[in-house]
Amino acid sequence: MNCPLCNSAQLQLFHDQVWSIDDGKVFRCGQCDITFLSPVMDDEQERRFYRQYNEHVKQRGVAASGSPQELHEKSLAAARERYAVISRFFAGAESVLEIGAATGAFLQQLENPFRCAVEPAQDNRQFSGQFANRAFADIEEVPEDLKFDVICMFHVFEHIRRPVEFLQKCLLRLRPQGGRVVIEVPNIADPLISLYGCTAFKDFYFQPMHPYVHSVESLRKVFGEAGLREREVICYQRYGLVNHLNWLAKGKPGGNPDWQRIFGDGQDYKEALVRQGLTDTLFYVAET
Ligand SMILES: [Zn+2]
């Protein structure tokens, strides 16, 4: 077997279980540093999987949303938190395209004059229309003469099986000078993996929806290959100490009022992780 991204044979078994599938394994490439699942779904399996996506999401303990309105309300807090981290990359941009916009909770935060959404799920796409000038079902439907100042995607890039090809599609729709791509992805340096090696977490974390889990290094390779220049990397820690203690003590996520009382919001803990680059989340910003 070779790395699906760089074709190197220099691979290491990283974990021997993938959530919800039999005989799934996780490998890490010694050449490009990508962590990837094997086997990976083919086009038909992927179509079938996404048709039952709500079912999978429900099984993972995230309540399937009854309506776009409900999903939207649940998404707003995360959208605001995200915008607080990256708002400066949107300042002054005339046009923004969000890929995988869901109901438009992030687009709603923006004040840029021209905003567009790509969202495959029809009901969410229709809902996002109130925050977007135009909404498309697929990147291929976005006219190439719309040159955006910023293209962004949050927890989308790790779903994409051919990331270089995908970035090239983005590039065709990006302002050729100073156009910007802003992404947010899960980071393989997540402390529950890299610091604590929590098996229960890894069993849950590696999932068929994410053929890849990126690191700063693998993002550099992928974006570089697509012809984009790195502008900034932001390590961001979303989950706090109490969540980590739950994983370590009970093998599952959750809160605990007693621990919360002792450790508070754990801001120092998060900051320490950020200083080491051992965070659950990465923002990567690149430019044309
Ligand atoms: Zn590789």
- Expressed in angstroms and rounded, the spacing between residue 24 Cα and the centre of ligand 1 is 18
Residue in the structure block whose two tokens are 């993996």: 193
- The C-alpha atoms of residue 2 and residue 41 are separated, in whole angstroms, by 16
Residue 105 confidence (pLDDT) = 98
Residue 43 confidence (pLDDT) = 85
**The pair of three-digit structure tokens given for residue 71, joined into one six-digit string:** 């999903």
- Expressed in angstroms and rounded, the spacing between residue 12 Cα and the centre of ligand 1 is 11
- Expressed in angstroms and rounded, the spacing between residue 212 Cα and the centre of ligand 1 is 11
> 3-state class of 4 per DSSP?
coil
- Expressed in angstroms and rounded, the spacing between residue 6 Cα and the centre of ligand 1 is 4
- Expressed in angstroms and rounded, the spacing between residue 97 Cα and the centre of ligand 1 is 29
- Expressed in angstroms and rounded, the spacing between residue 164 Cα and the centre of ligand 1 is 13
Beta strand pairing status for 150-154 and 95-99?
Answer: parallel
- Expressed in angstroms and rounded, the spacing between residue 146 Cα and the centre of ligand 1 is 33
- Expressed in angstroms and rounded, the spacing between residue 3 Cα and the centre of ligand 1 is 5
- Expressed in angstroms and rounded, the spacing between residue 193 Cα and the centre of ligand 1 is 20
Task: Report whether the peptide linkage leading into residue 39 is cis, meaning its omega lies within 30 degrees of zero.
Answer: yes
- Expressed in angstroms and rounded, the spacing between residue 118 Cα and the centre of ligand 1 is 29
- Expressed in angstroms and rounded, the spacing between residue 27 Cα and the centre of ligand 1 is 10
- Expressed in angstroms and rounded, the spacing between residue 28 Cα and the centre of ligand 1 is 8
**The pair of three-digit structure tokens given for residue 149, joined into one six-digit string:** 């100042």
Q: How many contiguous H segments (helices) and E segments (strands) does the chain have?
A: 11, 11
- Expressed in angstroms and rounded, the spacing between residue 58 Cα and the centre of ligand 1 is 32
Residue 63 confidence (pLDDT) = 60
Q: Which amino acid is at 181?
A: V
Beta strand pairing status for 35-38 and 281-287?
Answer: unpaired
- Expressed in angstroms and rounded, the spacing between residue 33 Cα and the centre of ligand 1 is 6
The DSSP output letter for 30 is T
Residue in the structure block whose two tokens are 């090696």: 197
Per-residue model confidence as pLDDT tens for the chain (288 residues)? 999 999 999 999 999 999 988 999 999 999 999 999 999 888 888 877 777 766 777 777 776 556 899 999 999 999 999 999 999 999 999 999 999 999 999 999 999 999 999 999 999 999 999 999 999 999 999 999 999 999 999 999 999 999 999 999 999 999 999 999 999 999 999 999 999 999 999 999 999 989 999 999 999 999 999 999 999 999 999 999 999 999 999 999 988 999 999 998 889 999 999 999 999 999 999 999
CB 38 within 8 Å of CB 225: no
Beta strand pairing status for 11-15 and 150-154?
Answer: unpaired
**The pair of three-digit structure tokens given for residue 124, joined into one six-digit string:** 């969410």
Residue 89 confidence (pLDDT) = 98
- Expressed in angstroms and rounded, the spacing between residue 163 Cα and the centre of ligand 1 is 13
